[in-house]
């Protein structure tokens, strides 16, 4: 199981403070953490606590489709005013950009479902109680 402990400690709400200090030189040679391992560690941190990377596909898809729509308007205007430069090129490019945008939107929607499924599978509580005040017994509902 993949546990990103730095994120879990921050998520639980342990008190955190910054402690400035002077770091002495490393005593045991060089670190075994190269750039690739640091990159993977950063990706673990990002993907462990947010579904934003999955949502980005939807945003990029909507922007691509909107761009294709605007580009189509410009090409239509340009064709009507100046004539056709290269037959078929504009329609082919517009179709590719628009369908790519639609595919990214569909992929983003699937990603949203997978992200929500992932959050449910993790079974993290919705909130954490630091301290309970009052009776531990359940009360009758008010009328």
Residue 35, domain member (yes or no): no
Is pLDDT above 90 for 5?
no
Q: Give the span between the Cα atoms of 75 and 94, in whole angstroms.
A: 9
Cα 130 versus chain centre, distance: 29
Domain annotation covers residue 18:
no
Q: Which letter does DSSP use for residue 139 in this model? A: P
Per-residue pLDDT, 47:
79
How far is Cα 107 from Cα 60, in angstroms, rounded to an integer? 10
User: pLDDT tens, 26-66?
Assistant: 888 888 889 998 898 888 888 777 888 888 888 888 998 89
The per-residue pLDDT for 36 is: 93
Each residue's pLDDT tens digit, 78-133: 888 888 777 787 788 888 888 988 898 898 899 889 888 887 887 777 767 677 77
Residue 141 lies in a domain: no
Residue 16 lies in a domain: no
Do the domain assignments include residue 106?
yes
Q: Count structural domains, the chain.
A: 1
Q: Give the domain extent around 87.
A: 50-123
pLDDT, position 135: 67
**Largest interatomic CA distance in the chain:** 80
Is residue 75 included in any domain, yes or no?
yes
Tell me the pTM: 0.60
Average pLDDT over residues 64-73: 88
Q: What is the CA radius of gyration of the chain?
A: 26
Q: How many residues does the chain have?
A: 143
**CA atoms within a 13 Å half-sphere pointing along the CA-CB vector of 46:** 10
What is the distance between the alpha carbons of residues 143 and 141, in angstroms, rounded to a whole number?
A: 7
- Residue 25 belongs to some domain of the structure: no
For residue 31, being part of any structural domain is answered with: no
């Amino acid at each position: 199981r993949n546990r990103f402990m730095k994120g879990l400690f921050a998520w639980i709400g342990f008190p955190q403070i910054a402690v400035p200090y002077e770091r002495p030189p490393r005593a045991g040679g060089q670190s075994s953490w190269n750039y690739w391992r640091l990159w993977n560690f950063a990706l673990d941190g990002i993907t462990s606590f947010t579904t934003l990377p999955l949502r980005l596909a939807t945003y990029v898809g909507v922007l691509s489709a909107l761009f294709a729509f605007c580009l189509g308007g410009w090409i239509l205007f340009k064709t009507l005013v100046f004539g056709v430069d290269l037959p078929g090129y504009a329609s082919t490019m517009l179709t590719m950009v628009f369908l790519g945008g639609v595919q990214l939107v569909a992929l983003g929607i699937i990603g949203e479902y997978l992200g929500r499924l992932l959050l449910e599978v993790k079974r993290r509580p919705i909130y954490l109680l630091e301290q309970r005040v009052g009776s531990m017994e359940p009360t009758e509902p008010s009328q």
